[in-house]
Amino acid sequence: MQEEKQPIFKNKRTGDEMYYFITRLYPYCRSITGNGTRQTLADISSIIPLAITEVPTGTKAFDWEVPKEWNIRDAWIKDSNGKKILDFHQLNLHVLNYSIPVNKQVPLTELKKHLYTLPDQPELIPYKTSYYEEKWGFCMSHNQFSQLKDELYHVYIDSSLETGSLTYGELFLKGDTDDEVLISTHICHPSLCNDNLSGIAVATWLAKQLTNQKLRYSYRFLFIPGTIGSITWLSRNEKDVKKIKHGLVITLLGDSSDFTYKRSRKGNALIDKTVETWLKTSGKSYTISDFIPYGYDERQFCSPGFDLPVGCFTRKPFGQFPEYHTSADNLTFVKPEKLEESLNALSDIIEIIEKNETYINLNPKCEPQLGKRGLYEKTGGTNDSKITQLAALWVLNYSDGTNSLLDIASRSGLPFSTILKAAEALKECKLLKNDRN
């Protein structure tokens, strides 16, 4: 593999670009429907050519139906002096997501029934939703809650919950085959950066990298509201999902923790082996966990009626970091370099998906004499020539038609890219051929 080919999958300083994109999207009040989500998709469309789908309220989707569309313009609480003590425009987490409108004066005891706080994290404001029960509510810090006086408050939410539609975005990149790789990320969370502006940014830049490339697989990127979005998409694309050969739900990619891979329900799908081998040979710490039927949209892709080979790639998983679903999941919680590291990881993983093949050793009886072919010099400078020599021996020994390059990377503990480099050098020397040739 020549150095010039590298920029296909790698891109420098994109971390800053992605971080800037997140700062732009952070203030929008996203939800599972509504204009905040629509604006988010419009912004993504400025970078990659998204197809936007609007699915009307009431549309059936398996056991579910598309809910009313929610929009919100303003919300606040004023104390008895008319002073705003809480303001939606300062932070959209302050409003219970999907709150119905309200405009009335309530005493403290009544107000408290509509307030959500985090007693164990008294400085943080929680993120709460009520998609399927019509009610109104506010979220505030427990510190503020503790100091509320026993007086009359004016609560005001200028929202609407009306017939409308659910919006999602989709990008399809046609490759050499109809076999698809699915990359899905959720777009329904309001001002939360890691969950999931990080996933939105990384998916967008990954799609951008792959655009206009010659690809073996076709790629389908989904930017969808969590749960109802993936259920809706699956119900509208039921006949075609069998084309999905590998898939990843990506989210929580901007914080500073290690990567985590949650296996597909199958547990031994090629995507599972691919990500696990990449992690194992990455030199980084990581966690791999078995499929569990809760988490993100892999729940739907891996429901037993579909059982798609879709894993979930994150850093620290949902619920396992203190900033999760709080106002602390903000612009200081995600880091440009971590976004970039995540993007590079996914680029590497896609490189494996694209380039993995099974080769046949054309000189299977004893080792070939590598030295006389100048193989060591051919494969790079002196620094990594020993590694490449090892990689060549691994490729030769295991290329008997039963082991792919990914299998060999996994067994040897050498990165796929090193194994690929060795395989390409051996192919040039006529010591190796593609299994399919």
Binding flag, residue 56, its own copies (CB under 8 A): no
Within 121-150, the residues that bind its own copies by CB under 8 A are 132-133
Alpha-carbon distance of 84 to 306, in angstroms, equals 50
Q: Contact letters (x/-) for its own copies, 274-293, by CB under 8 A?
A: ----------------x-xx
Nearer to its own copies, 39 or 303 (CB): 303
What gap in Å lies between CA 205 and CA 197, rounded to an integer?
12
- Our finding on whether 199 is near its own copies (CB under 8 A) is no
What's the distance, CA 351 to chain centroid?
A: 17
Least distance from C-beta 389 to its own copies, angstroms?
Answer: 9
With beta carbons less than 8 A apart as the criterion, state whether 218 and 153 touch: no
Query: Where is 279: in which H helix or E strand?
Result: helix 270-280
Stretch that binds its own copies, among 196-204, 248-256, 323-331, 365-373 (CB under 8 A): 365-373
Residue 418 CA to its chain's centroid (Å): 27
Among the listed ranges 18-26, 193-201, 323-331, 390-398, the one in contact with its own copies (CB under 8 A) is 390-398
- Cβ-based nearer residue to its own copies, 54 or 307: 307
User: Contacting its own copies (CB under 8 A), which of 98, 221, 394, 416?
Assistant: 394
Placement of tokens 């892709």 in the chain:
301
- For β-strands 310-314 and 432-434, DSSP reports them as unpaired
Q: Draw the binding track, 82-121, toward its own copies (x: CB under 8 A; -: no contact).
A: ----------------------------------------
Residue 302 touching its own copies (CB under 8 A)? yes
Q: Which of 8, 100, 387, 390 binds its own copies (CB under 8 A)?
A: 390
Residue holding tokens 């398996």?
62
The Cα–Cα gap between 32 and 168 comes to 9
Q: How far apart are CA 74 and CA 86, in angstroms?
A: 11
**C-beta separation of 309 from 247 below 8 A:** yes
Residue 283, judged by CB atoms within 10 A of its CB (0-12, 13-18, 19+), counts as exposed
How many Cα atoms occupy the beta-carbon half-sphere of 335 within 13 Å? 8
Q: How far is the CB of 213 from its own copies (least distance, A)?
A: 32
Which residue number, 347 or 361, has a Cβ lying nearer to its own copies? 361
Closer Cβ to its own copies, 63 or 150, answer by number: 63
Considering only 412, 415, 417, 422, the residue that binds its own copies (CB under 8 A) is 412
Determine the Cα–Cα distance for residues 152 and 85; give it in Å rounded to an integer.
13
CA distance from start to end of the chain: 20
C-alpha 375/C-alpha 378 separation (Å) is 5
User: Mask 58-77, x = binds its own copies (CB under 8 A)?
Assistant: ---xxxx-------------
- Angle separating helix axes 405-412 and 382-398, nearest 10 degrees: 120
Residue from 87, 211, 288, 364 in contact with its own copies (CB under 8 A): 364
Q: Interface with its own copies by CB under 8 A: which range of 187-195, 212-220, 319-327, 362-370?
A: 362-370
Within 10 A of 90 (CB to CB), how many other CB atoms are there?
A: 11
Rounded to an integer, what distance in angstroms lies between the CA atom of residue 42 and that of residue 229?
17
One residue of 114, 189, 245, 265 binding its own copies per CB under 8 A: 265
Span of 140-148, 207-215, 226-234, 310-318 interacting with its own copies by CB under 8 A: 226-234
Nearest-approach distance from CB 187 to its own copies, in angstroms:
18
Residue 376 touches its own copies, criterion: CB under 8 A: no
Angle at 315 between CA 24 and CA 21, to 5 degrees: 10
Q: Which of 111, 234, 353, 432 binds its own copies (CB under 8 A)?
A: 234
Parallel, antiparallel or unpaired: strands 218-224 and 180-186:
parallel
Instruction: Note whether 398 binds its own copies by CB under 8 A.
Output: yes
For its own copies, give the closer residue by CB, 136 or 394: 394
Tell me which stretch binds its own copies (CB under 8 A): 39-47, 316-324, 344-352, 356-364: 356-364
Nearer to its own copies, 258 or 367 (CB): 367
Q: Which letter does DSSP use for residue 207 in this model? A: H
Q: Which of 73, 30, 38 is nearest to 54 (CA)?
A: 38
- Binding to its own copies (CB under 8 A) within 312-331 occurs at none
DSSP bridge partners of 154:
78, 105
Binding site for its own copies (CB under 8 A): 61-64, 132-133, 227, 230-231, 234-235, 238, 265, 290, 292-294, 299-300, 302-307, 361, 363-369, 371-372, 390, 393-394, 396-400, 411-412
